[in-house]
Amino acid sequence: MNALARLGRTGLAFFERLGRGHVFLAQMLYGLPSMLLRPRLVVQQIYSVGVLSLLIIAVSGLFVGMVLGLQGYNTLSDFGAAESLGVMVALTLVRELGPVVAALLYGGRAGSALTAEIGLMKATEQLSGMEMMAVDPVRRVIVPRFLAGMIVMPLLAAIFSAIGVYGGYFVGVGLLGVDEGAFWSQMQANVDLHEDILNGVIKSVVFGVVVTWIAVFEGYDCVPTSEGVSRATTRTVVHSALAVLGLDFVLTALMFGDV
Amino acid sequence: MSQDGEQQSLVEIRGLRFVRGTRAIFDGLDIDIARGKVTAIMGPSGTGKTTLLKLIGGQLRPTAGTVTVDGQNVHRLRRGGLYSLRKRMGMLFQSGALLTDLSVYDNVAFPLREHTDLPEVMVRDLVLMKLQAVGLRGARDLMPSELSGGMARRIALARAIALDPMMIMYDEPFTGLDPISKAAIVELIDTLNEALGLTSIVVSHDVQETAAISDYIYVLAEGKVVGQGTPDELRASPSEWVRQFMQGLPDGPVPYHYPATDYAEDLLAGNG
């Protein structure tokens, strides 16, 4: 009976939190239009979640592209199709690795920072203080960060993919001797703007919304102690990674399932 | 705020009951805060004094009972009404609650910039006036992390009076300060209340400092008002409990020991 009661309590707590998370999402969406009047708040956040994540995104993109070039060449050359290396690298990045890996990195770099920042603001009564100054902390603190995450994620994914393509080019054409003309022309002929690039952008927007939502909610909802903030930060990284990978499968099935 | 409203109290708490978990923090609390006066709410730690301020500010909802501020029932107000009421209430948090990513100047300017469209020159004048009032005009370019505890609290006070509120709530304003900073805060609460015609609510357990500036004191314990009156009346209170608190005696009606099983039995129980 005790175990059953505990299971029930855990289940209730889970669903209660899920509900709070969605109410919070609704509050954020409701607050979005107010950002039109205060673009400066959003720009500041784009800098701190986006520009400051650029380095890790660029370096990772380069290495992922280089690995793709190496592995792709090994497999493709067995079938005498080494000229298709460009297509392979580009499609893998644009469709999958760009949005997914960029979102994972964004969750680890910017998401955890968002949670810790908001959690500490809560622990030091800054959010409560704003409320008492008749300033809505959701609109003043949360919504600019949420919107910035939505804007930044597709851009980061695009940068990741572009640098990755150059990484693949550097290894494939520069080191392994794939024909340069074939590398680019096959890529140009086979990567479709609508089918591949747009779907990749849609994925990264969805990941941006979900990861940022998880990050700001964990911060806003955390237990306001140092332990609570640290747990919330861990949860942000774990949950956002799981959400990105899970959603990626769902989105891929919807977009490319019938191909 | 008008002359005929002078008699009436600014804050009226009636039959307040607040339950957290299974524990009733307040149970049938009645408190009146007189206009233009300094009213202190005292009690041992853990009696929910901070919770009371959050209930007055509408950040928490009571389980039962009403809180009326300036004739408005705080918990019946819609969001807009609550926010415009809060603009007229200042609150000084124990930690100061300064925004850590803004300088002292920007912290004091924060409520002005959020709630008014004043040109920057006027914001500057107002900010400098408020900082001068707390004696920290020279610290305007510092960041909150560079301030001592006492300075942070004075900056927070400057921010709390930025919008010229009708009342200020002080949450443990004397805790954790050195004697000089403490004296500065005591002096400030007193002068500001006088000079700005404020109503002040001071929540504290520092008997000496609080009694020195308050006009009326409520003593809370276990969710109820156990004593009230002017500082002199309370010192001469017939209640042994209130006297123990006011004089700061370690033992008395409030036992020194947290409730526990018999000491000898407890020690022997460890032997299995």
pLDDT of B272 strictly over 60: no
Cβ distance B203 to B170 under 8 Å?
yes
Please give the C-alpha separations between residue A223 and each of A8, A60, B199, in angstroms, as whole numbers: 22, 33, 33
- Count residue pairs from A and B with Cβ separation < 8 A: 53
Q: Write down the pLDDT at residue A259.
A: 54
- Say yes or no: B98 contacts chain A, CB-CB below 8 A: yes
Q: Which of B18-32, B88-102, B224-238, B244-258 has the lowest mean pLDDT?
A: B244-258
Q: Write down the pLDDT at residue B6.
A: 47
* DSSP alpha helix (H) spans, chain A: 2-31, 39-45, 54-78, 85-91, 98-106, 112-123, 126-132, 137, 143-169, 180-190, 199-221, 226-256
Nearest to B65 by CA among B12, B17, B27, B20: B17
Q: For residue B256, what is the DSSP state? A: S
A135 contact residues in B (CB cutoff 8 A) = 110-111, 114-115
pLDDT of B194 strictly over 50: yes
- Say yes or no: B89 contacts chain A, CB-CB below 8 A: yes
**Ranges of chain A with pLDDT below 70:** 1, 259
- Residue A208, SS3? helix
B91 contact residues in A (CB cutoff 8 A) = 129, 132
Q: So what's the ipTM on this one?
A: 0.81
A126 to B97: CB separation less than 8 angstroms, yes or no:
yes
A121 contact residues in B (CB cutoff 8 A) = 100
pLDDT in tens, B112-122: 998 888 899 99
CA distance A142 to chain B (A): 14
| Neighbour tally for B134: CB within 10 Å | 22
pLDDT in tens, A42-62: 999 999 999 999 999 999 999
B116 contact residues in A (CB cutoff 8 A) = none
Nearest to B154 by CA among B193, B104, B106, B220: B104
Name the closest residue on chain A to residue B164, using Cα atoms: A133
Q: Write down the pLDDT at residue B7.
A: 52
Name the closest residue on chain B to residue A44, using Cα atoms: B101
